[in-house]
Amino acid sequence: MVFSLCFSLALPWPALLRAESVTPGKEREIGERFHMKMAATGAIVDDPIANQYYRRVTDRIMKGAGLKAGQYHFYIINSDGINAFAVPGGYIYMHTETIISLENEGQLASILGHEAAHITSRHYARRMEASSALSAGYIASMLLGVFIASRGGNAGPLGQAVIMGGTGATISAMLANSREDEAEADAKGRQYLTKAGYQARDMYGAFKIMADRTFQVSPQSANYLTTHPALTSRLATTFKDYENAPPAPQDQRYLAFRDRILALTGQADRVRNIFTKRINGNKNDHSALHGLGLLLARQQNLTEADRRMTQALALDPDNREYLADLGDLALRRRKADDARKYFEKAGPDNRQSVLGLARASELLGDNQRAAGLYERAVDMDQTPYPEALELAGRFFGKIGQMGRGHYYMARYFNDVGNLDKAIFHYQEVEKQPDGGRYRAIAAREIKFLSDMKKEDKK
């Protein structure tokens, strides 16, 4: 287990880099390159309903920090480890197990605020020294190697070389986050939290949960990931005034979000046991019924999934998320007309429903309506939605709008970290008669991605 609240991947940096040379542009470049590599692992959760809720929380934290919505980039990644971490350039990642372990939205916001504070404080830049040996791409690969090693996985040749080789000798120091930086992130994070309208006690609650779960540290995790000032000491000092604060009231919105993350990403036996136990204790627990339905759908048991999810909708008939999920299930069961009805009831503000309605319209032969809906599904939120891009790209290619089709496919492969295919589709955009409106973007992206590939080969 790795969690940045105790030994953050809001990384301290080796003595090979000089702070004065690290511009915000350099930090952004590192973050962009890291995120491309992270996307290629397939770990990022691509669920529009979960991401819509998550975005509302992150937007509040950004406002509390005095930053614009979208100025930083927040992602959920599928991992059993309890962790949240930030990298240069404003990229912040939350592990699914952390979400499942927390109790309310304020606790989630606490962790996000703490991570945002590491970035606003420029803790990375303070520790960097200029070195031609450490390019943005090299640093990004090194960070990814650390992340994969923390999950007990294979960090790949470059990640392993960095961890085990000469530069790897400095990694223990890099990960030994200073007490001063943690204290600054605690103080600023708490300020962001309260300005966003949350309770400071929730930061204590979040940290207490993290401290209580330290027994889950994986024996596969490298030792350097555990070298950091103890969180328990901060609980006893910085947050002692909240030790006896009354617990937060039940937060049904967060609990529904947590159930969704559990159902979509959790280990199947664990998920089934949790939801079945809850249903046995309360037949009207519609969130557990729906969560069990989502798990059954993951396992391709579509008939039983439909039964459970229909039961949940009967108990909460106006739940737009349930309607959208039933629409998706109807599409998978090749019932396009039923799907269209569910998606229309779910309403136009649900991104999953907009995409689903586009798919249903396409299947029902209404290409004009489908085209507008695909465009809306892609653009209605700043959060990347690779599935929408892929389906839109295939649709527009099928109806002969090749420039647009290749453009969306290029963006799709870019978002999932496949540089070669992204470059290919951007190049195809430049060849198409109808690619005019996208050609400038394509040329810029081809150069950026090609430069990234060249640097990765060094």
Please give the Cα distance from 101 to 293 (Å, whole number).
Answer: 21
Q: For the chain, give the percent of residues with pLDDT over 70.
A: 78
Q: For the chain, give the percent of residues with pLDDT over 90.
A: 57
Cα atoms in the 13 Å half-sphere on the side-chain side of 69 = 11
pLDDT of residue 121: 86
pLDDT of residue 228: 36
- Per the model's pLDDT, the better-predicted residue between 23 and 20 turns out to be 23
- Per the model's pLDDT, the better-predicted residue between 411 and 458 turns out to be 411
User: Which of the four pLDDT bands, split at 50, 70 and 90, describes residue 447?
Assistant: very high
Poorest-pLDDT segment among 146-155, 210-219, 281-290, 314-323 = 146-155
What are the boundaries of each domain within the chain? 4-242, 384-458
Characterize 262-297 residue by residue with b for buried, 16 or more Cβ atoms within 10 angstroms of its Cβ, and e for exposed. Answer: bbbbbeeeebbebbeebbeeeeebbbbbbbbbbbbb
User: Which of the four pLDDT bands, split at 50, 70 and 90, describes residue 86?
Assistant: confident
State the amino acid at position 356 in one-letter form.
G
Q: Is the pLDDT of residue 245 over 80?
A: no
Average of per-residue pLDDT across 283-292: 98
**Residue range 52-67, pLDDT digits in tens:** 999 999 999 999 999 9
Average of per-residue pLDDT across 385-396: 97
User: Which of the four pLDDT bands, split at 50, 70 and 90, describes residue 336?
Assistant: very high
Average confidence score pLDDT of the chain: 83
Which conformational region is residue 197 in: left (phi greater than 0), alpha (psi within -120 to 50 degrees), or beta? left
Residue 412 backbone phi and psi in degrees, to 5: -60, -50
Structure tokens at 178: 């200073």
Average of per-residue pLDDT across 94-117: 94
* Alpha helices for 65-150 (secondary structure H): 96-101, 105-120, 123-127, 136-150
Hunting for tokens 């400038």 — which residue is that?
A: 440
Q: Is the pLDDT of residue 127 over 70?
A: no
Q: Is the pLDDT of residue 358 over 50?
A: yes
User: Which of the four pLDDT bands, split at 50, 70 and 90, describes residue 125?
Assistant: low
All residues at 6 or more sequence positions from 370 whose CB lies less than 8 Å from its CB, including other chains: 358, 359, 361, 362, 395
All residues at 6 or more sequence positions from 29 whose CB lies less than 8 Å from its CB, including other chains: 89, 136
Q: Is the pLDDT of residue 5 over 80?
A: no
pLDDT of residue 141: 60
Residue 203, Cβ density class (10 Å: 0-12 exposed, 13-18 middle, ≥19 buried): buried
Average of per-residue pLDDT across 65-86: 89
Residue 400, Cβ density class (10 Å: 0-12 exposed, 13-18 middle, ≥19 buried): exposed
User: Which of the four pLDDT bands, split at 50, 70 and 90, describes residue 31?
Assistant: confident
Structure tokens at 107: 């606790």
- Per the model's pLDDT, the better-predicted residue between 313 and 181 turns out to be 313
- Per the model's pLDDT, the better-predicted residue between 172 and 97 turns out to be 97
Q: Is the pLDDT of residue 28 over 70?
A: yes
Average of per-residue pLDDT across 249-271: 95
pLDDT of residue 131: 42
**Residue range 396-427, pLDDT digits in tens:** 999 999 999 999 999 999 999 999 999 999 99
CA 401 to the chain's CA centroid: 31
State the amino acid at position 404 in one-letter form.
R
Among 295, 291, 331, 297, which residue's Cα sits nearest to residue 311? 291
User: Which of the four pLDDT bands, split at 50, 70 and 90, describes residue 140?
Assistant: low
